[in-house]
Amino acid sequence: MSSFQDLPDCVTKSFHKRLICESMARVCSYVVLLDLECDALVLDIFHHLLASIHDDHSPLLLAHIESILWGILVEVEW
């Protein structure tokens, strides 16, 4: 969770940030969290990712964030 909290930091263009988002987007690990009914954790991840969107981020990082956010919205059982 602490890795997602650091995403708004646009000053240091960290590879670590991109790698975490890329891994989560490709593996769709949020689906596992939803299946395990870790709804509060998924909600925290969603809020951190949504708050971290900045124009200073690379288009690739923004695409991974968008993929995760959209995937969560699609997978949530309303």
List pLDDT tens digits, range 40-60.
988 888 888 888 887 877 788
Task: Give the SS3 label for residue 65.
Answer: helix
Which residue type does 37 have? E
SS (H, E, C) 1-59: CHHHHCCCCCCCCCHHHHHHHHHHHHHCHHHHHHHCCCHHHHHHHHHHHHHCCCCCCCH
Is 0.95 topped by the overall pTM? no
Q: Rounded to an integer, what distance in angstroms lies between the CA atom of residue 52 and that of residue 65?
A: 9
Split into its structural domains, the chain has a count of 1
Cβ-contact 45, 2 below 8 angstroms: no
pLDDT value at residue 4: 57
Domain membership of residue 50 as a residue range: 2-75
